[in-house]
Amino acid sequence: MKFGKEFVSQMVPEWQEAYMDYINLKTVLKDILRFKQRNKSLQLEAMSKGPLKRKVSLYRAFSGLTRRYSNLRGSPKKEADEEEVILVNAVQKEGSEGYYETMFLMSSEEGGEYELVFFRRLDDEFNKVLQFYKAKVEEVINEADELSKQMNALIAFRIKVENPAVGFQEAAPTHRAASVVASSPASVPTRFNDRAPGRAHMDAIQEVEMSSEGRSEDGDIGVSEGKISYKRNIGGDKMNIGGSKSAPLEVLNHVKINIIPETPLTTLKGILMSSKSDLPFSKEELKKAEERMKQAFIEFYQKLRLLKSYSFLNLLAFSKIMKKYDKITARSASKAYIKMVDNSHLGSSDELTRLMERVETTFIKHFSNGNRRKGMNTLRPKSKRERHRITFFLGLFSGCSVALIVAIIVLIQARNILQSEGRGRYMESMFPLYSLFGFIVLHMLMYSANLYFWRRYRVNYPFIFGFKQGTALGYREVFLLSTGLAVLALASVLSNLEMDIDPRTKSFRALTELVPLGLVIVLLLITFCPFNIIYRSNRFFLLQCALHCICAPLYKVTLPDFFLADQLTSQVQAFRSLEFYICYYGWGDFKRRTNKCNDSSVFDTFYFIVAVIPYWVRFLQCFRRLVEEKDAMQGFNGLKYFSTITAVVMRTGYDLKRGMTWKIMAGVSSVIATIANTYWDLVIDWGLLEWNSKNPWLRDKLLVPNKGVYFVAMVLNVLLRFAWMQSVLGIREVAFFHRTAVTAIVACLEILRRGIWNFFRLENEHLNNVGKYRAFKSVPLPFNYDEDKDV
């Protein structure tokens, strides 16, 4: 693989704009190469036309008799004899420090203007990379400062939990005694030895060991017994967070606990009552605080690793581009420029390396019980292994699905089922049951396609969705699950594809009629299975998001929550199929394939409610975000969903009751909701239709190179948005399709539209993260410091 492709593939997706523009610089070098080739061809052509071709060499400068041989012997004068091409200086520009500027000394030569452009762009790229790197290093140092304060509180919390008898007034003597503990275990005070020795008890003793640190320069980050202690000079005052002067337990006087997970109950308590600020000293609270700190350290270490990788990749890129320059121009400028790069903050700073070592030491001591292998396995990102069995079963299930579809088609033709008398009864009873699985499989297939294209166009969907490290499913895994479910559903259809009732018993076989219900039960059991099988972490993540949707607005709304709620709005017909399951098997005569669901007022009522629930969830989520974020756009988004709720109610009323009044109300409300939703999809969710952008009627940044894809997607979105008005327009039966089949087809079209929407919605979210360089999720820390007091 060429370096350019390797360079792009290893970039942090959200930092793409901050990397050196290797492709652009290569383009400038190609211009230089083309000029030199053209100039060389002209010179050769001119020489070939002259009468004396050989005499040209007589006018060349004499290089001396011994210079070549002295160079071969490694003469020390080699460097002095080399022609100086560039001078690189650090200059002051607009008050910024560390700005580098290259002076090209050969600009008067023929074609020198091309090389001058190259060095100007090279300087721009280097200064961009350098400034970004400095800003990020300062950011992680500030974060290390905050983690130091959090560790102080956690260590004091551990001491208090393990030794409740220790009072805050005894903190100073305890701390002074701790320095003795480090050297002599026999000198431990009696209050530390009132229980049998154990690992947790010894940890509590070790937490207060404050061995003296060696000399540390300003900006250094030290570790005392595994605890980060960052010291830096700000305005001449030295700040020592977690230093040895403050007593350990005194920290608890200045902090408030922040580890209670958000639940509907805590949300209601926060609204109705003032939250308590007392710090509960219990082992359960300590465990929660430790878990949160552990996640914070893992995320922080990942940030350090990627920042170090950012530095290495850019250093390598500058080295590569300068070597290409030397090769094309036959000059020796790379040595001087690379020397400047190596001496700059980007190449010479070792802050990240030292900080990573100290974070490793802290994490291994405090969160891995001193086990380095265990600690490093937790800190380092886990790369997913490609498993051959996934490919095998994927091919197997795909082939079986195709074979079962062919078998069903052949069986329908052989038995002439489409003309059978029992066709109507089958479409009214069995088809809605099996269509549920069709909706789920189609949605999973679209999601699998989304994953494939997100990965192809480097959309960082694991970060956007907040998946745990190494647990995000790829398109192959999702495709495997969808084909597996398709095989089960198609086999079930084939097992009871009977149209004629038994003339003797006047019923169908009970076992085959219960197959759809059994398949639903199996699907639910797999979804809620607590054992570590079939991607448990992803199943639980889905269930957690579903719980947040059900309990809206009592949970803080995150992107996975409202993204799932949007998916559910496209599965209204699937929810109605579940309602039909309950009615059909609960109150119907499934052996005779008869039911009275459509004649039940209770069923009609829930027919309304089930259709409204997904849109109501999104409305409540918008309301929660409006209150928290004070964003007026969330209010408009809520109004959009309210208009959709109105349209769904009117359409459902027209489906059940008919009448011209219902039709007019359904038509008007549907048109309004469709226009509002279409505008929101294209302009807000996708960020398109910007008439003054670099890409007319699209947006400035696009991930898909072919711009026509965006216009096709917009047209399809509009057409498929209006497809849901089929019942209002009176399109209930098409050709030989039964009305339930038409309803299922329209529902499938909505799922296809949602799949298209998913890709461009997440593309827009990814570009927003890129614009703000957001590449890491923020982990809430367990302690809040009271900044008004001197800690």
Question: How is residue 548 written in tokens?
Answer: 């947040």
Residue 752 banded pLDDT, cuts 50, 70, 90: very high
Query: Are 704 and 457 within 8 A, CB to CB?
Result: yes
- Give residue 226's identity as a one-letter amino acid code: G
| 723 band by pLDDT with thresholds 50, 70 and 90 | confident
Does residue 56 have a pLDDT over 70?
no
Which residue intervals of 535-589 are DSSP H helices? Answer: 536-550, 559-569, 572-587
Instruction: Report the Cα–Cα distance between both ends of the chain, in Å, rounded.
Output: 54
CA distances from 134 to 96, 97, 310, 730 (A): 12, 11, 12, 64
What is the rounded average pLDDT of the residues 118-124?
A: 91
In whole angstroms, give the CA distance from residue 566 to residue 644: 12
Paired strand residues for 100? 90
Among 396-400, 583-587, 616-620, 660-664, name the one with the lowest average pLDDT. Answer: 660-664
Residue 300 amino acid letter: F
Widest CA span in the chain: 117
Q: What is the pLDDT of residues 218-235, one digit of tens each?
A: 333 343 333 334 344 333
Tokens of 268: 């209601």
* Bond preceding residue 780 cis, omega within 30 of 0: no
Q: State how far Cα 410 lies from the chain centre.
A: 45
Burial of 281 (0-12, 13-18, 19+ CB in 10 A): middle
Q: Kindly tell me if the per-residue pLDDT of 657 is higher than 90.
A: no
User: Amino acid identity of 470?
Assistant: G
In DSSP terms, which residues pair with 233 in a beta bridge?
Answer: 238
- What is the pLDDT, as a whole number, of residue 19? 93
pLDDT of residue 250: 77
Count of beta carbons in the 10 Å neighbourhood of residue 23: 10
Asked if residue 757 has pLDDT above 90, the reply is yes
Give the global pTM.
Answer: 0.81
* DSSP H helical ranges for 20-111: 22-49, 67-72, 78-81
In one letter, which amino acid is 446?
A: M
Among residues 497, 549, 542, 488, which one has the least CA distance to residue 520?
488
User: 168 burial class (0-12, 13-18, 19+ CB within 10 angstroms)?
Assistant: middle
| Structure-token pair, residue 173 | 């003597």
More confident residue, 656 or 457: 457
- Residue 678, pLDDT > 90, answer yes
- Residue 727 confidence (pLDDT): 53
Q: What is the crossing angle of helices 283-329 and 22-49, to 10°?
A: 10
Confidence at residue 238, expressed as pLDDT on a 0 to 100 scale: 36
When pLDDT is cut at 50, 70 and 90, the band that residue 200 belongs to is very low
Q: CB within 8 A of 361, min separation 6: which ones? A: 223, 226
Residue 522: CA atoms inside 13 Å, Cβ hemisphere, count?
12
Residues sharing a CB contact under 8 Å with residue 472, sequence separation 6 or more, in sequence order: 384, 461, 462, 465
Element (H, E) at 91: strand 86-93
Tokens for 299?
């995320």
Lowest mean pLDDT among 84-98, 277-291, 490-504, 562-576: 84-98
Model confidence band, residue 74 (pLDDT cutoffs 50, 70, 90): very low
Predicted confidence (pLDDT) per residue in 502-553, tens digit: 778 878 888 889 999 999 999 999 999 999 989 999 999 999 999 999 998 8
- At 248 the pLDDT is 67
Residue 436 Cα distances to 441, 443, 448, angstroms: 9, 11, 19
Q: pLDDT at position 788, please?
A: 43
DSSP type of residue 506: S
pLDDT in tens, 136-183: 999 999 999 999 988 988 888 888 888 776 655 444 443 333 332 233
Specify which residues 441 forms β-bridges with: none
The segment with the largest mean pLDDT, out of 266-280, 483-497, 662-676, is 483-497
More confident residue, 446 or 38: 446
C-beta neighbour count of 303 within 10 angstroms? 18
Lowest mean pLDDT among 271-280, 348-357, 504-513, 737-746: 271-280
| 559-588 confidence digits (pLDDT tens) | 999 999 999 999 999 999 999 999 999 988
553: helix, strand or coil: coil
Question: Is the per-residue pLDDT at 41 higher than 70?
Answer: yes
Domain ranges of the chain: 388-770
What ranges make up the beta strands (E) of 611-685?
A: none
Give just the sign of the alpha carbon dihedral 121, 123, 129, 135.
Answer: negative
- Tokens representing residue 722 in the block: 């209006």
* Dist. CA 489–CA 435, nearest whole Å: 9
Distance CA(546)–CA(575), nearest Å, equals 14
Per-residue pLDDT at 13: 86
Cα→Cα distances 67→61, 70, 330, 466, 529, Å: 13, 5, 19, 65, 81
The half-sphere exposure of 710 on its side-chain side, counting CA atoms within 13 A, is: 25
Of 637, 608, 613, whose CA–CA distance to 624 is shortest? 637
pLDDT of residue 330: 85
Query: Rounded to the nearest 5°, which phi and psi values hold at 532?
Result: -80, 70
More confident residue, 171 or 287: 287
Q: Give Cα separations from 161 to 282, 368, 780 (angstroms).
A: 6, 19, 22
Per-residue pLDDT band for 490 (boundaries 50, 70, 90) equals very high
pLDDT at 109 over 90: no
| CA pair distance 94, 657, nearest whole angstrom | 73
Question: The tokens 């095989």 sit on which residue?
Answer: 487
Q: Chain-wide mean pLDDT for the chain?
A: 80
Listed residue (520, 526, 561) closest to 542, CA to CA: 561
Helix, coil or strand: residue 601? helix
